[in-house]
Amino acid sequence: MREVRIPAFAKINLRLDILGKRPDGYHELRTIFQSVSLHDDLRLRASSRPGISLEIAGNAMLSEEPVEKNLVYRAVDALRRECKIRRGVAIELKKTIPAGRGLGGGSSDAAAALLGYLRLTGRQLPLPRLLEMASSLGADVPFFLLGGRALGISRGDEIYPLPGIPDLSVLIVSPRDIHVPTLDAYRWLGAGPLTLTKGAANPKLRRFCALCWSTQGSGLSNDFERPVFRRHPRLDKIKRALLQRGAREASLAGSGSAVFGIFPSPAMARRAAVGFPDDQTFVCETLSRDRYVRKMQGTG
């Protein structure tokens, strides 16, 4: 195959519970990932030139880091080493997902690069090994190999598929002037105790388990909201505005700074988007695992 085009879809977290800090310094969490139709685009082409070339355009953050540190580059480089591939590859990444907003754009790009490069070269890897490689690139990357709706535990890199929910209309609001580094968001949480697993009758645990197996998709919750909203009150105002404009529910996306609302219809979401003229807005929908896989394979 000479060329592969593949989308890299964004995610939202329907639930994000932080249990506490682990001995290894990472935070133990429980989250419910959900794919949405907002996406970046990757184009991978076989090249007569050796090595990897990567061009990035669109909605990307300006960075002085060398291209070799980009997750797409690192993903393809890891596969080339794993499969002992010498032939060159040229990659074009068109960014639409706003970077650094809790929507998983970089992680999704990495997963799409893994899947796209395997298709381009006709190689295959056992799924456990592919998931291991994905986890080494970032905690969210394994989810994007599977898509749909899934439970993430540990650092969020241990993934378990969950039953799908009916398609939901989503409005994502991305403030142009607020960026929340993930490390800062975790630091603002503090070093709280492990609370989710204490006691069989823990109501937080019951609610989390009920949401996992519910097919209704209700019950949004994100433990990052309190510390992030405290430092960026405008994000709380955006959430309240989404609810006032007809959203059934609204929540911070990941560690922020994007905020999303669930609307009864795409038309209502589009009307609500008009109320955020100073921000980037994206009207999209949730993707089931089957639709996600078909789109990633180029068959749907």
How many other C-beta atoms are found inside a 10 Å radius of the C-beta of residue 289?
Answer: 17
Tokens 């639930």 belong to 15
How many other C-beta atoms are found inside a 10 Å radius of the C-beta of residue 152?
Answer: 23
Catalytic residue among 17, 140, 223, 279: 140
CA 151/CA 80 separation, integer angstroms:
30
Among candidate residues 162, 194, 178, the one with its CA nearest the CA of residue 33: 162
Among candidate residues 89, 84, 87, the one with its CA nearest the CA of residue 113: 89
CB 276 within 8 A of CB 24: no
Among candidate residues 38, 156, 24, 138, the one with its CA nearest the CA of residue 98: 38
CA 173/CA 52 separation, integer angstroms:
34
In sequence order, the 6+-apart residues with CB closer than 8 A to the CB of 219 are: 14, 15, 207, 210, 211, 249
> Does residue 157 carry a catalytic annotation?
no
**Dihedral sign, Cα of residue 234, residue 236, residue 238, residue 244:** negative
Identity of the residue numbered 104? G
> Does residue 184 carry a catalytic annotation?
no
CA 75/CA 81 separation, integer angstroms:
10
| Residues known to be catalytic | 11, 140
